[in-house]
Amino acid sequence: MAGAHEAFAGIGRIKYEGPAAKSMLAFRHYDADAVVEGKPMKDHLRFAVSYWHAFRGTGADPFGPGTMLRPWENEADPLKMAVKRVDVAFEFLEKLGVGFYCFHDRDVAPEGATLAESNKNLDVVVDALEKHQQRTGIKLLWGTANLFSSPRYVHGAATSPNVESFAYAAAQVKKAIEVTQRLGGAGYTFWGGREGYQCLWNTDMKRETDHLAKFMHMAVDYAKEIGFKGQFYFEPKPREPMKHQYDFDAATCINFLRTYGLEKHVKMNLETNHATLAGHEIQHELEYAGMQGFLGSVDANTGDTLVGWDTDQFPTNVYMTTQMMYSILKYGGLAPGGINFDAKVRRESFEPVDLFHAHIGGMDTFARGLKIAAAMRADGAIQKLVEERYASWSGPLGKRIEAGTESFKSLEAEMLKKGDSAACTSGRQELFENVINTYL
């Protein structure tokens, strides 16, 4: 954090100052070493900053160009700039006090004129990342490859009708896995990008999904070959940029993984705003993946109820992070995954300090969610109410059905004897909701 070269001069290490903190550049709830359910907060939450939004986001939108003021973006040579940007990124990560970051190959290093040149550029930047990782102890949560920006991926990458787009993507992912391994990355993420379609008339969906599976198998095989032990993740998103994407939601992705024999190798990376685009809440996605044994990692952000697209805002809603942390604790936590802020400051929030406000707010919102969820689990009131709702299943008949010793015939005999089923009890949704509000 050398003084003269500081990009975020005047901002020091963000500290935990408790709910009564005076400064807005302080944590009110995220106390990294405070123990919750036997583990420090930092190990529950495993926060990561996404390189693409924090350090490559310009604020451009379909109606206007970038707005972000980033005084350090002043190097004419793109590779030199990429290396310099790593210093800025690590200054930010260190001051924020997060343990992890995530990147796409093309966010950290510029694309060259040829594949070989792009690989060389990446190696130069990875040298810089490695040095800073060693200096600070900050780690890579996961790496990924950008298989969606280049025109060569206009029809998708692994699902492109152009075989050489597939081949190029394979080469790109091979390299991305290698650098992720070199940086000790805890995981590697596949997000579909443009793996989907705009029009079914011109699309061979079966062939495309077969190709996607082939592609993922090649990645798994290569990881095995080079001894990469990181967790693979598949990140659901139903649409945008394509009208339909093959990684629609957790259930669709898990079905895909099982159909193609990938279920032992790949878990879910679930993103809040993608869940809402699919017509779900993130709690649904976490529960679904958790109950199926596919809970991997989280891309944390939030959408806007009035804007129907992937706005990638920073999470500020404690009710939502409580729901998330309740499910995450229930299924045994995220490690080796974590909570990656796949979120961007608004186009109107263009000053460097806004990056701090955004991440501090997100971290505090999750820390509160964690504390509340742990309190709910500690006294077990909600759990008890859920068990009461299912009490009939703990009687002799329920036990026999769950044990698999009943059949349609035996159940028919039982109900013919009784004449009718016992009356149902109230669902008590309002009571549940009121109980939850007593913790907030």
Minimum CB distance to Ni ion, residue 410 (Å)? 49
Please give the residues from 264 up to 283 whose contact with ligand XLS meets the rule CB under 6 A: 271
Of the candidates 104, 132, 280, 284, the residue annotated as catalytic is 104
Quick one: 249 or 299, whose CB is closer to Ni ion? 299
Q: How many residues bind Ni ion (CB under 5 A)?
A: 4
In the set 271, 285, 287, 364, which binds Ni ion (CB under 5 A)? 271
Please give the residues from 300 up to 319 whose contact with Ni ion meets the rule CB under 5 A: 310
In the set 91, 235, 285, 287, which binds ligand XLS (CB under 6 A)? 235
Annotated active-site residue 107? The verdict is yes
DSSP 337-394: --EEE-----TT--SHHHHHHHHHHHHHHHHHHHHHHHHHHHH-HHHHHHHHHTGGGG
Minimum CB distance to ligand XLS, residue 176 (Å)? 11
Quick one: 55 or 191, whose CB is closer to ligand XLS? 191
* Residue 123, beta-bridge partner list: none
What mask of x and - would describe binding to ligand XLS in positions 169 to 198, judged by CB under 6 A? --------------------x-x-------
Minimum CB distance to ligand XLS, residue 274 (Å)? 7
In the set 178, 249, 299, 364, which binds Ni ion (CB under 5 A)? 299
Annotated active-site residue 244? The verdict is no
Query: 25: which 2 tokens?
Result: 């550049």
Query: Is 107 near Ni ion (CB under 5 A)?
Result: no
Quick one: 31 or 193, whose CB is closer to Ni ion? 193
Minimum CB distance to ligand XLS, residue 107 (Å)? 10
Site stretch for Ni ion (CB under 5 A), options 6-14, 226-234, 338-346, 360-368: 338-346
Classify the phi-psi angles of 351: left when phi > 0, otherwise alpha if psi is within -120 to 50, otherwise beta. beta
Minimum CB distance to ligand XLS, residue 8 (Å)? 24
Quick one: 7 or 339, whose CB is closer to ligand XLS? 339
Query: Is 247 near ligand XLS (CB under 6 A)?
Result: no
Residue 31 binds: one of Ni ion, ligand XLS, none (C-beta under 5 to 8 A by kind): none
Query: Is 285 near Ni ion (CB under 5 A)?
Result: no
Please give the residues from 336 up to 375 whose contact with ligand XLS meets the rule CB under 6 A: 342
* Residue 156, beta-bridge partner list: 154
Minimum CB distance to ligand XLS, residue 144 (Å)? 5
Quick one: 309 or 393, whose CB is closer to ligand XLS? 309
Of the candidates 175, 169, 225, the one whose C-alpha atom is nearest the C-alpha of residue 192 is: 169
Query: Is 31 near Ni ion (CB under 5 A)?
Result: no
Of the candidates 105, 107, 247, 342, the residue annotated as catalytic is 107
Please give the residues from 113 up to 142 whose contact with Ni ion meets the rule CB under 5 A: none
Query: Is 144 near ligand XLS (CB under 6 A)?
Result: yes
What mask of x and - would describe binding to ligand XLS in positions 79 to 118, judged by CB under 6 A? -------------------------x--------------
Q: Which residues are catalytic?
A: 104, 107
Return residues touching ligand XLS (CB under 6 A).
104, 144, 189, 191, 235, 237, 271, 299, 310, 342
